[in-house]
Chains A and B, each alone.
Chain A
């Protein structure tokens, strides 16, 4: 990785490290100092990417944007996520690539490819934990004697070496020191993800029996499979207080579509976990940072530990909104672009979600997704997806970087 990027990664690490110490980063995010700091880092990283990422540089110059001339991170041009399907979007030489994250798609399109070198991958893994901890609140400090029992419905990174999600879950399990974690995700011979229902339900049975909170991590599709198995067996769990569920994606872009509120209701019913403890994650292989739905509530001090408020006063927050709101860590920001005018949309105005992610050190920091959303003080609300947006047969549209 280029020296400038290594230096930048160091500065970003201190920002991430500071955030790791705070439990309420979202409330500090609005401070003017934070804004200036984000702006400065974003413009610096933009200059690096302009210099080191040839496709991005031409994309910017075609739009009349040059390096060193921007004053605000909002002016940084966003590459479409489909670019990661069309060519190598990277500041790294091919010789440096040691990891390649790919999107999982069901269309005829080739997957998006996001290349990493050891330094950028290390930064990716480090950035995951603080924001996960603050939002999902697995409750116990890393390496503590009695971490939650973990059930992952996602294959291991060793089995799915091109999955950024598998890498993320591995990092989280490492930080939790969850050596007895149950991994019920599999990769079948065709490369498709599958679920080992028996080991998943065994982990749920054990968690319920011993009264130890669980942390369950999975894709929406995997949860639906698990729920179908549990519901058809007529089983209903009452998982111990403190149990958390993190579900990710799957309901937004893949073959089957799910309504998130319906999924959350089913999880609540089947597992006995309050919906406030079901956290949604928004991530994609083209990004390094994750958005989460509103964090699991802090327990009242008197209740001891962080047991969910199961009896009086529950739920702490009103029901999950019909469509999820996601919030990103202090080193990533969302903006919404009006597709009609190409200008940034106003508050609550719908448009394409763009993420400026400082943890995307080795590729490109500003990305336009195919998701439609609205922005307000709560975060970004996911309202749909641009249909018919990607040309057919992207796989055949691969171009060699000039």
Chain B
């Protein structure tokens, strides 16, 4: 369906993006922000955003249909994968969750609307107001769309004009999302710009950086370093680099056939979500053996669950090179399996759709992704965390399946070890809207406080 040209990304492919165009767009965004967004009450933005979300959840919404019709060729994901991924995010958007996000981050719902005081400030007769950046620039990653959506949401709440630089092959979904915002509120839409070019284009990016107050970027550590290097010193930078995730299954769960089967199905949902592309996707499932060979059993159950998942939510098509990575790794583990009983491999016959490798060796192994997962046996959580030490500083989420009585000690150990998110297996790719990305404040990191010491501060 033809859509009006609201954004640079709407222009035909042959229209070249030039530095002057980027500068002009950035300046327009800032003017629009001043007119429409800077003084707009937060509750209005929340209401508009909830309207956007409820439209996306309506199966007959044209933009949703268009997104699902983009197909695997444009998005890399099968329809069911895309549908589940989009729905899980939009379902989290409601007035209560957004208000909770602001209170979590700022202690008070009206922090962005005007001067207000928390308990500690009140005792000193002080007040404060949180201001967002004038122009917030996002460098969105190309692998999955939700982080870009989340960035746009946080930027709107921060009352920032936003310029989103999409990866050149991954602009289709952010573009439809931006159109839905424009549709609900042209004023909000006027404070948003989307463009796509291959990352590292210095003339375009310099023009953009010259206008920016804050830049967020999601991508490889190299891409982040390159952006950071080129930013003017006064520009705040928030980089979200390479992260991995894994899961831990307690022996009480693994030894109970029903709970183990259920957990395997939940794990399969986590592995299949966004075809394992996100930093919250598990690479390894550690299973506590409890003096038996529970991890091996669990791996078999997980293979069954992956096969079921493929039926309802097929994996997207792969490039030859990505398929070759899976084929070559499978062959490597076939050799290991031929040489030792400590390795077992299960995989989809006739395709690279899914692969489960069981290994007795607990050392963490990064997956080649696209639904390729390791199951490793450990004697307890301590051994799992030791085995994952090589990825401690880049671990994002740890999925946990354990009986209620063990949840607190296990979660505490995982948190002390350094993981920034602990969640039930089955929810790994579905963090709440108020999730602190990489352990940092979600919204507060974007803001700058203005403290007001009122005359009565010094009255005594």
Interface residues of A, Cβ cutoff 8 Å to B = 55-56, 58-59, 62-63, 78-80, 82-83, 86-87, 337-342, 350-352, 368, 370, 372, 384, 386-393, 396-397, 399-402
Residue in B340, B342, B351, B366 whose Cβ sees the most chain A Cβ within 10 Å: B340
Give the residues in chain A near B368, CB-CB below 8 Å.
388-389
A340 with B323: in contact, given A62-B337, A62-B338, A402-B339 (CB under 8 Å)? yes
Give the residues in chain B near A86, CB-CB below 8 Å.
332, 335-336, 339
The one of A62, A389, A402 that contacts B325, using a Cβ cutoff of 8 Å: A389
Q: Which A residue's beta carbon lies closest to that of B349?
A: A342
Q: Are A351 and B324 in contact (CB under 8 A)?
A: yes
Q: Are A390 and B328 in contact (CB under 8 A)?
A: yes
Interface residues of B, Cβ cutoff 8 Å to A = 318, 320-321, 323-329, 331-332, 334-342, 350-352, 361, 363, 365-366, 368
Q: Are B325 and A399 in contact (CB under 8 A)?
A: no
Give the residues in chain B near A55, CB-CB below 8 Å.
335, 338-339
Give the residues in chain A near B338, CB-CB below 8 Å.
55-56, 58-59, 62
Q: Are A79 and B331 in contact (CB under 8 A)?
A: yes
Q: In the complex, how many angstroms separate the beta carbon of A365 from the nearest chain B beta carbon?
A: 15
Q: Which B residue's beta carbon lies closest to that of A89?
A: B335
Give the residues in chain B near A393, CB-CB below 8 Å.
363, 365
Q: Are B324 and A80 in contact (CB under 8 A)?
A: no
Q: In the complex, how many angstroms separate the beta carbon of A68 from the nearest chain B beta carbon?
A: 19
The 3 closest A-B pairs by CB, nearest first: A58-B338, A386-B324, A80-B331
Q: Are B361 and A397 in contact (CB under 8 A)?
A: yes
Q: Are A82 and B335 in contact (CB under 8 A)?
A: yes
The one of A82, A340, A350, A352 that contacts B332, using a Cβ cutoff of 8 Å: A82
Q: What are 20 A-B interface contacts by the 8 Å CB criterion? A: A55-B335, A55-B338, A59-B335, A63-B334, A80-B328, A80-B334, A83-B332, A83-B335, A86-B339, A87-B335, A339-B324, A340-B318, A340-B320, A341-B350, A370-B324, A389-B324, A389-B328, A391-B329, A391-B365, A399-B340
The one of B321, B331, B361, B365 that contacts A368, using a Cβ cutoff of 8 Å: B331
Q: In the complex, how many angstroms separate the beta carbon of B22 from the nearest chain A beta carbon?
A: 32
Give the residues in chain B near A341, CB-CB below 8 Å.
350-351
Complexed CA–CA distance, A13 and B189 (Å):
76
Q: Are B340 and A340 in contact (CB under 8 A)?
A: no
Give the residues in chain B near A399, CB-CB below 8 Å.
336, 339-340, 342
Q: Are B336 and A339 in contact (CB under 8 A)?
A: no
Q: In the complex, how many angstroms separate the beta carbon of A250 from the nearest chain B beta carbon?
A: 20
Q: Which B residue's beta carbon lies closest to that of A386?
A: B324
The one of A384, A389, A402 that contacts B329, using a Cβ cutoff of 8 Å: A389
Q: In the complex, how many angstroms separate the beta carbon of B19 from the nearest chain A beta carbon?
A: 30
Give the residues in chain B near A59, CB-CB below 8 Å.
334-335, 338
Q: Are A392 and B366 in contact (CB under 8 A)?
A: yes
Complexed CA–CA distance, A370 and B330 (Å):
12
Q: Which B residue's beta carbon lies closest to that of A79?
A: B335
Q: In the complex, how many angstroms separate the beta carbon of B73 from the nearest chain A beta carbon?
A: 15
Known: A56-B338, A339-B326, A340-B352. 14 other contacts (CB 8 A): A63-B334, A80-B334, A86-B332, A87-B336, A338-B323, A339-B352, A340-B351, A341-B351, A386-B325, A389-B368, A390-B332, A392-B366, A393-B363, A402-B341
Give the residues in chain A near B329, CB-CB below 8 Å.
389-391
Q: Are B324 and A372 in contact (CB under 8 A)?
A: yes
Complexed CA–CA distance, A388 and B367 (Å):
9
Give the residues in chain B near A80, CB-CB below 8 Å.
328, 331-332, 334-335
Q: Are B321 and A342 in contact (CB under 8 A)?
A: no
Give the residues in chain A near B339, CB-CB below 8 Å.
55, 58, 86-87, 399-402
Give the residues in chain B near A337, CB-CB below 8 Å.
327
A388 with B352: in contact, given A55-B339, A62-B334, A401-B339 (CB under 8 Å)? no
Q: In the complex, how many angstroms separate the beta carbon of A366 from the nearest chain B beta carbon?
A: 11
Q: Which A residue's beta carbon lies closest to that of B329?
A: A389
Q: In the complex, how many angstroms separate the beta carbon of B326 from the nearest chain A beta carbon?
A: 7
Complexed CA–CA distance, A87 and B368 (Å):
22
Q: Are B351 and A386 in contact (CB under 8 A)?
A: no
Give the residues in chain A near B361, CB-CB below 8 Å.
397
Q: Are B327 and A339 in contact (CB under 8 A)?
A: yes
Give the residues in chain A near B342, CB-CB below 8 Å.
399
Q: In the complex, how many angstroms separate the beta carbon of B345 from the nearest chain A beta carbon?
A: 9
Give the residues in chain A near B363, CB-CB below 8 Å.
393, 396
The one of B327, B336, B337 that contacts A397, using a Cβ cutoff of 8 Å: B336
Give the residues in chain B near A351, CB-CB below 8 Å.
320, 324
Complexed CA–CA distance, A397 and B365 (Å):
11
Q: Which B residue's beta carbon lies closest to that of A80?
A: B331
Complexed CA–CA distance, A339 and B321 (Å):
8
Q: Which B residue's beta carbon lies closest to that of A369?
A: B328
Q: In the complex, how many angstroms separate the beta carbon of A14 from the nearest chain B beta carbon?
A: 33
Q: Are A368 and B328 in contact (CB under 8 A)?
A: yes
Q: Are A352 and B324 in contact (CB under 8 A)?
A: yes
Residue in A58, A78, A341, A342 whose Cβ sees the most chain B Cβ within 10 Å: A342
Q: Are A352 and B336 in contact (CB under 8 A)?
A: no
Q: In the complex, how many angstroms separate the beta carbon of B319 from the nearest chain A beta carbon?
A: 10
Q: In the complex, how many angstroms separate the beta carbon of A353 from the nearest chain B beta carbon?
A: 10
Complexed CA–CA distance, A341 and B330 (Å):
13
Residue in B338, B352, B363, B368 whose Cβ sees the most chain A Cβ within 10 Å: B338
Give the residues in chain A near B334, CB-CB below 8 Å.
59, 62-63, 80
Q: Are B332 and A388 in contact (CB under 8 A)?
A: no
Give the residues in chain B near A62, CB-CB below 8 Å.
334, 337-338
Q: In the complex, how many angstroms separate the beta carbon of B286 from the nearest chain A beta carbon?
A: 17
Q: In the complex, how many angstroms separate the beta carbon of A320 from the nearest chain B beta carbon?
A: 23
Q: In the complex, how many angstroms separate the beta carbon of B351 from the nearest chain A beta carbon?
A: 6
Q: Which B residue's beta carbon lies closest to that of A88?
A: B339
Complexed CA–CA distance, A86 and B329 (Å):
12
Q: Which B residue's beta carbon lies closest to that of A396?
A: B363
Complexed CA–CA distance, A340 and B340 (Å):
26
Complexed CA–CA distance, A396 and B338 (Å):
17
Q: Are A370 and B321 in contact (CB under 8 A)?
A: no
Complexed CA–CA distance, A391 and B283 (Å):
12
Q: Are A82 and B331 in contact (CB under 8 A)?
A: yes
Q: Are B320 and A339 in contact (CB under 8 A)?
A: yes
Q: Are B335 and A387 in contact (CB under 8 A)?
A: no
Q: Are B365 and A350 in contact (CB under 8 A)?
A: no
Complexed CA–CA distance, A62 and B344 (Å):
11
Q: Are A350 and B320 in contact (CB under 8 A)?
A: yes
Q: Are B350 and A342 in contact (CB under 8 A)?
A: yes
Q: Which B residue's beta carbon lies closest to that of A87?
A: B339
Give the residues in chain B near A396, CB-CB below 8 Å.
363
Give the residues in chain A near B320, CB-CB below 8 Å.
339-340, 350-351, 372
Give the residues in chain A near B336, CB-CB below 8 Å.
86-87, 397, 399
Residue in B329, B341, B350 whose Cβ sees the most chain A Cβ within 10 Å: B329
Q: Are A387 and B325 in contact (CB under 8 A)?
A: yes
Q: In the complex, how many angstroms separate the beta carbon of A373 from the nearest chain B beta carbon?
A: 10
The one of B318, B321, B352, B366 that contacts A387, using a Cβ cutoff of 8 Å: B321
Q: In the complex, how many angstroms separate the beta carbon of B157 from the nearest chain A beta carbon?
A: 37
